[in-house]
Chains A and B, each alone.
Chain A
Amino acid sequence: MMHPRQLRQQIHQGLNFGLVLASAFMFWKFLSVLTSSESPVVVVLSGSMEPAFQRGDVLFLYNRDNYVDVGDIVVYQVKDKSIPIVHRVMNEHHIEYTTSAQQQQQQQQQAKSSGSEYSPLVHTSGGKQLLLTKGDNNPVNDLGLYGRNQGYLNRDDDILGVVKGYVPFVGYITILITENVYLKYAMIGFMAISALLSNEE
């Protein structure tokens, strides 16, 4: 039977490796919550945005602005398609939901009863922004990349974030790991070994 000290040492070594993974994951989620983006850092995988971005560039996204401007470069992910796409916004539409006449009357009465001098003038109860995108290096817009019967991207549902910064070519290592299975396993193995040996100095 294993001695209690040995057992603790083995758990400790396993934990060292677990904590490396846990910390990396929690830091990723922290960035995710901070930027309100599901994927706050992405790597450019294709040349569709050349010359602005090259394959391998790392992009930093921010998704806390309510609206996206025409000309912004956004990263979007269409439902049922796993790979996010980095393209520029070419066109946008606002759709505002107006309240019914009855709701307007109720709002005005509430304003009067609460002693407010002004009646509410804004009749919108919310809205959404629809976007059309295109890769700078592509001859046509992205309609063909969207889902079936989807004419626009929905700002709230499809956009992962607006590009706010980038680091050139650093993401090539990710591309290599993604495209080469053996390199991926070698990296995981290297991480595991370095975590296990970190206490052996």
Chain B
Amino acid sequence: MDLNLFFIFESLGYVESFSLIDVRLALGIGCCAISGATFYLDKHSEFKESINLVAAAIVLYSILASVLWGWSKFVEKNIKFVGYKKSQKLIFKSSANKTDNLYSYEIKIGDNEPIIGSIEYNKVFNENGFLDFEEFKGYLTKEVEKIDKKKQ
């Protein structure tokens, strides 16, 4: 469902912002680069010669990996879409419990109070297990329109 959010909000005029995922990618690529450099060092120099550099790389890797973990856990958390329509920012969060039949979401537009809601999976998935995109889009479009009406 989250993979379709982009198409839904784009149809409502929101342009996706990639700043959150870009930070995550940069941290991840940084971790892989450090690890790759350490691997190269390991292969091309004696263990005793490179031990101090490797230790420094381990410290740096630990810091970056911790920041990456913190970023995913506390900053991105359940945010699945961030978009802008002119200067108006929309943040969409979603979560699901494995044992519930509910897709829970929170939509926040600008400074308005966020709307919290949930959709039963069987309402948006057909009996073959495919997502009914229009149905799902309908739910979210209504919610966005509700916030827009409140503003007016």
A-to-B contact residues, CB < 8 Å: 4-5, 8, 11-12, 15, 18-19, 21-23, 25-26, 29-30, 32-33, 36, 38
B-to-A contact residues, CB < 8 Å: 6, 16, 18, 21-22, 24-25, 28-29, 31-32, 34-36, 38-39, 42, 47, 51, 54-55, 57-58, 61-62, 65
Return the chain B residue nearest A11 by Cβ. B25
Query: Looking at chain A's contact residues, is the secondary structure mostly helix, strand, loop, or mixed?
Result: helix
> Is A22 within 8 A of B31, CB to CB?
yes
> Is B18 within 8 A of A25, CB to CB?
no
Assuming the contacts A11-B25, A19-B28, asked whether A5 and B47 have C-beta atoms less than 8 A apart, the reply is: no
For the complex of A and B, list the 7 residue pairs with the smallest distance between their C-beta atoms, beginning with the closest: A22-B35, A15-B28, A38-B47, A18-B32, A33-B55, A26-B61, A30-B58
A-B residue pairs in contact (CB < 8 Å), sample of 18: A4-B18, A5-B16, A11-B25, A12-B21, A15-B32, A22-B32, A22-B36, A22-B61, A25-B38, A25-B39, A26-B57, A26-B62, A26-B65, A29-B42, A32-B47, A33-B51, A33-B54, A38-B47
Question: Within the complex, what minimum Cβ distance (angstroms) separates B40 from chain A?
Answer: 11
Question: Within the complex, what minimum Cβ distance (angstroms) separates B81 from chain A?
Answer: 10
Instruction: State in angstroms the CA–CA spacing of A155 and B51 once bound together.
Output: 18
Instruction: State in angstroms the CA–CA spacing of A15 and B22 once bound together.
Output: 12
